[in-house]
């Protein structure tokens, strides 16, 4: 610790230097305001200033103190006052002095002085850490809000379809049990094309926090830029997104990547074309039989985005039943688990999703969506989902489509 002393008694200078120099501390004792200012202006920063409030008198000492606080606002200052001058130290403390020590006539205060200085330094560092943490929290909150603003708040569905969707960011518990909502990397979009098609997109950036959120923002921008080109082949669309993302270091640095599932539903033929880039496979539920199945086996999931350029992806095509629910989701839904016993119970999984959808077969699709989140959350037994969760649920009944 580098300690600078601004003192008013030459006879005590050497004694102060000896007591404060115990250990590896570097101590410099100055006498008078001019010498003190010279040392403050030196290139190496000081960790703490021990300052007599009577340098050479209280009024001058206070003006000196204010000048130092103005020019070196981050420097912790510990004041020293005589026993009869304790009341005078109040205005120093209200103007930013970190602590003070009372100078008794016997000089016993020197035995405690090093501990007082160290405590003042630690308190200032803790306050700075708290300020940095709060600033970071505000920045994360801003990024999270920006990320959530990209997710459509309302989805217009064509006649004969009901489409509901929802995004929930992950949460963590910090010291004291306080829950903090994280910036996340989930993304979904649903929109119609003019020629009787519905596009469904669900994506998930690796990791958490600002990098994941920024990665999703990049992908959202690319999707908005190239979706007007009306890719009729889902694999070609995903390949183009991948090539674009491979050029963005914000996404792929430190091994980052994005998974994506892109579906194109043709309303007049009830045919779904889709491509997965390392993303969970969509589920379809026949509303007549209640049967639920994945559209393909896990091998249908291609390589995630932003790892290698010029990857070839597969297009899968399925004829859907007349009455069905189609589920696109991110892995936060299926990977929910109770934190205190993960190895005993495993994850909520596709089995949990299937059970929920089967149990909510006869309820409106909005309630079915809510149940997916509720059941997944309940499965964690209070620990909460540790990953962002997005779900897009489409219900179609051709019986209600006018001929």
Q: In the chain, how many H helices and how many E strands?
A: 12, 18
Instruction: Check whether 179 has a pLDDT greater than 60.
Output: no
Q: Which CATH number fits domain 2-129: 3.40.50.150, 3.40.50.2300, 3.40.50.300, 3.20.20.30?
A: 3.40.50.2300
Instruction: Check whether 220 has a pLDDT greater than 50.
Output: yes
Instruction: Check whether 366 has a pLDDT greater than 90.
Output: yes
Provide the percentage of residues in the chain whose pLDDT is more than 70: 88
Residues 96-152: tens digit of each pLDDT: 999 999 988 888 888 888 889 999 999 888 888 887 777 766 766 766 676 667 778
Query: Considering the chain, what is the average pLDDT of its residues?
Result: 86
* Exposure b/e, 10-32, CB count within 10 A at least 16 = b: eebeeebbebbeeeebebbbbbe
Domain boundaries, the chain: 2-129, 150-400
* Exposure b/e, 184-212, CB count within 10 A at least 16 = b: bbbbbbbebeeeebbbbbbbbbbebbbbb
C-alpha angle with apex 275: 352 to 167, nearest 5 degrees?
50
Q: For 175, how many CA atoms within 13 A lie in the half-sphere containing its CB? A: 0
Q: Which of 237, 260, 395 is nearest to 327 (CA)?
A: 395
Q: Which CATH number fits domain 150-400: 3.40.190.10, 3.60.40.10, 1.10.287.1080, 3.90.120.10?
A: 3.60.40.10
CB neighbour class for 94 (10 Å; exposed up to 12, middle 13-18, buried from 19): exposed
Residues 244-258: tens digit of each pLDDT: 999 888 787 777 899
Q: Give the per-residue pLDDT at 175.
A: 46
Structure tokens at 391: 């779900």
**Alpha carbon distance 379, 209 (integer Å):** 24
pLDDT-based confidence at residue 393 (cuts at 50, 70, 90): very high
Q: Give the per-residue pLDDT at 400.
A: 55
Q: Give the per-residue pLDDT at 213.
A: 77
Spatial contact of 239 and 311, defined as CB atoms under 8 Å apart: yes
Q: Give the per-residue pLDDT at 345.
A: 67
**Alpha carbon distance 100, 113 (integer Å):** 10
CB neighbour class for 115 (10 Å; exposed up to 12, middle 13-18, buried from 19): exposed
Instruction: Check whether 402 has a pLDDT greater than 80.
Output: no
Residues 37-90: tens digit of each pLDDT: 889 988 688 999 999 998 888 899 999 999 999 999 989 999 999 888 888 899
Structure letter (DSSP) for residue 288: T
Lowest model confidence (mean pLDDT) among 76-85, 183-192, 256-265, 390-399: 183-192
Greater model confidence, 263 or 176: 263
**Alpha carbon distance 213, 205 (integer Å):** 8
pLDDT-based confidence at residue 403 (cuts at 50, 70, 90): very low
What does pTM read for this prediction? 0.67
Instruction: Check whether 304 has a pLDDT greater than 60.
Output: yes
């Amino acid at each position: 610790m580098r300690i600078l002393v601004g003192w008013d008694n030459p006879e005590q200078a050497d004694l102060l230097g000896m007591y404060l120099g115990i250990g590896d501390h570097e101590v410099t004792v100055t006498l008078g305001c001019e010498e003190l200012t010279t040392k403050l202006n030196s290139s190496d920063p000081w960790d703490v200033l021990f300052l007599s409030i009577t340098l050479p008198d209280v009024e001058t000492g206070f003006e000196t103190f204010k000048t130092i606080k103005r020019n070196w606002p981050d420097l912790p200052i510990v004041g020293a006052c005589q026993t009869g001058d304790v009341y005078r130290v109040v205005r120093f403390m209200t103007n930013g002095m970190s602590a003070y020590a009372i100078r008794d006539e016997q000089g016993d205060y020197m035995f405690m002085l090093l501990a007082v200085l160290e405590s003042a330094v630690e308190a200032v560092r803790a306050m700075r850490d708290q300020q940095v943490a709060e600033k970071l929290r505000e920045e994360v909150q801003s990024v999270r809000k920006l990320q959530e603003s990209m997710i459509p708040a309302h989805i217009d569905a064509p006649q004969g379809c009901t489409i509901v969707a929802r995004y929930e960011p992950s949460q963590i518990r910090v010291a004291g049990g306080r829950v903090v909502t994280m910036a996340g990397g989930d993304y979904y979009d649903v929109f119609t094309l003019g020629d009787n098609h519905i596009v469904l997109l669900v994506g998930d950036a690796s990791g958490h926090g600002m990098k994941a959120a920024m990665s999703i923002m990049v992908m959202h921008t690319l999707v908005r830029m190239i979706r007007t080109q009306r890719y009729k082949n889902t694999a070609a669309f995903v390949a183009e997104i991948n090539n674009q993302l491979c050029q963005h270091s914000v996404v792929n640095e430190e091994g980052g990547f994005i998974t994506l599932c892109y579906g194109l539903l043709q309303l007049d033929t009830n045919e779904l074309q889709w491509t997965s880039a390392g993303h969970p496979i969509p589920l379809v539920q026949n509303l007549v039989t209640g049967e639920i199945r994945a559209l393909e086996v896990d091998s249908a999931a291609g390589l995630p985005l932003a790892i290698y350029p010029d990857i070839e992806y597969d297009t899968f095509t399925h004829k859907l039943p007349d009455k069905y629910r189609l589920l696109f989701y991110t892995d936060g839904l299926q990977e929910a688990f109770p934190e205190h016993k993960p190895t005993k119970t495993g994850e909520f999984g596709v089995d949990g999703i299937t059970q929920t959808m089967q149990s909510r077969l006869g309820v409106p699709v909005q309630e079915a969506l809510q149940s997916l989140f509720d059941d997944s959350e309940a499965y964690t037994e209070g620990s909460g989902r540790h990953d962002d969760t997005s779900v897009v649920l489409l219900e179609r009944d051709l019986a209600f489509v006018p001929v």
